[in-house]
Amino acid sequence: MSENRPRPASGYAVLAEGVVKRYRGRGKEAVEKRALDGFDLAVRPGAVHGLLGPNGAGKTTAVRVLATLLRYDEGRAEVAGLDVRREPRRVRSRIGLAGQYAAVDEGLTGRQNLEMFGRLFHLGNRGARLRAGELLERFGLVEAADRSAQEYSGGMRRRLDLASSMILSPDVLFLDEPTTGLDPRGRGEVWNAVRALVADGTTVLLTTQYLDEADRLASHITVIDRGRAIADDTPDALKNRVGGDRIEVVAAEEGDLAAVAKAVDRVAGGGLVLTDDTTRRVHAQVADRVAALTEVARSLQDDGIVVEDIGLRRPSLDDVFLRLTGHGTDQGTETDDAPVEVAAA
């Protein structure tokens, strides 16, 4: 964490304790809905913290609450050491926010976009020009600075959007699904930009449905479902909850499945061996990954059994989601499309 970013008294850059956000539908028999239902979150300074969950879990509502765009009903929330409810104006001066879609004016050049945001933040003409130049260099947009944003690729527009959210060098940056709709190259460009921000001391709270994105960027992850945090740990620790390494063997012939399962069973240590007749796949959890792979390969070779594929597989964050929520990230029973209610200053 850079020296010019004071550490919050709580020790956390973002803190939420028992936060509740209610909505009530229209009509006499309208049912109350809790978009957040006792939500807890603790984000340490100077890192990327992932907030993951299926559609409707409450991710976007949580970001809007913490960014002072929504008033919450119960609980406590702090950002950069400031109380979100009592000091929303001061909180806004310490944060940046980039939503799911790039909020840039495509009729302006990249430089003009940043200078416009600088003036909106009262930096003055000269200050806005200087800050725009710094950000264009930081985000690798110098060569495209005087081209219309309409000509930018998706990744370039996203980087420009991130640059605009950094006009005031925020202590905390909220990124709500920042790579939605981008191709792999564009996603990679955004990932590099996020890593550079963290290296400079900015704390990033990242919501995403791309589990590989969270795995690559976040040092800590909170899983949210139905408005509550249901797990909070490092990516590796969350994967370990699902179980250790697994050996997988794909038989070349369906008739060899029994023999393959027998070979895998020898190294499974009494654990469950699963067989899928449709894919001809046999897999089981193993303790010593290298020894297990070597022994199974030797056993199959000695028995003259040809296999289509054999390998080791670590649990993924997809496995974590299935274990914790019972469904993947693209499924949800509730919507998370709450209207924006800007909190009073």
Phi/psi at 2 (5° precision): -70, 155
Q: What is the mean pLDDT of residues 54-77?
A: 94
**234 confidence band (pLDDT: 50, 70, 90):** very high
pTM of the model as a whole: 0.76
Percent of the chain with pLDDT over 70: 89
Q: pLDDT digit string (tens) for 271-308?
A: 788 888 889 999 888 888 889 899 999 999 999 999 99
- What distance, in Å, lies between the first and last C-alpha atoms of the chain? 29
- In three-state form (DSSP H/G/I as H, E/B as E, the rest C), the secondary structure along the chain is CCCCCCCCCCCCCEEEEEEEEEEECCCCCCCEEEEEEEEEEEECCCCEEEEECCCCCCHHHHHHHHCCCCCCCEEEEEECCEECCCCHHHHHCCEEEECCCCCCCCCCEHHHHHHHHHHHCCCHHHHHHHHHHHHHHHCCCCCCCCCEHHHCCHHHHHHHHHHHHCCCCCCEEEEECCCCCCCHHHHHHHHHHHHHHHHCCCEEEEECCCHHHHHHHCCEEEEEECCEEEEEECHHHHHHHHCCCEEEEEECCHHHHHHHHHHHHHHCCCCCEEEECCCCEEEEECCCHHHHHHHHHHHHHHCCCCEEEEEEECCCHHHHHHHHHCCCCCCCCCCCCCCCCCCCC
Is the pLDDT confidence value at 132 over 90? yes
- pLDDT for the residue 317: 80
- pLDDT for the residue 110: 96
Q: Which residue has the higher pLDDT, 3 or 67?
A: 67
Strand partners, 205: 49, 174
Whole-angstrom distance, CA of residue 5 vs CA of residue 211: 30
Q: Cβ neighbours of residue 131 under 8 Å, at least 6 residues apart?
A: 114, 118, 123, 167
Is the pLDDT confidence value at 166 over 60? yes
> Which amino acid, residue 28?
K
| Cβ neighbours of 1 (radius 10 Å) | 17
Give how far the C-alpha of residue 159 lies from the chain's centroid of Cα atoms, to the nearest Å: 17
**5 confidence band (pLDDT: 50, 70, 90):** low
Is the pLDDT confidence value at 99 over 50? yes
Q: pLDDT digit string (tens) for 322-339?
A: 778 765 555 443 445 444
Domains, the chain, ordered by start: 14-94+170-239 (3.40.50.300), 245-314 (3.30.70.100)
Q: What is the mean pLDDT of residues 151-162?
A: 90
Whole-angstrom distance, CA of residue 22 vs CA of residue 77: 16
- pLDDT for the residue 147: 96
Is the pLDDT confidence value at 67 over 90? yes
| Cβ neighbours of 109 (radius 10 Å) | 19
Q: What is the mean pLDDT of residues 255-270?
A: 89
Q: What is the mean pLDDT of residues 37-58?
A: 93
Whole-angstrom distance, CA of residue 50 vs CA of residue 47: 10
- pLDDT for the residue 188: 86
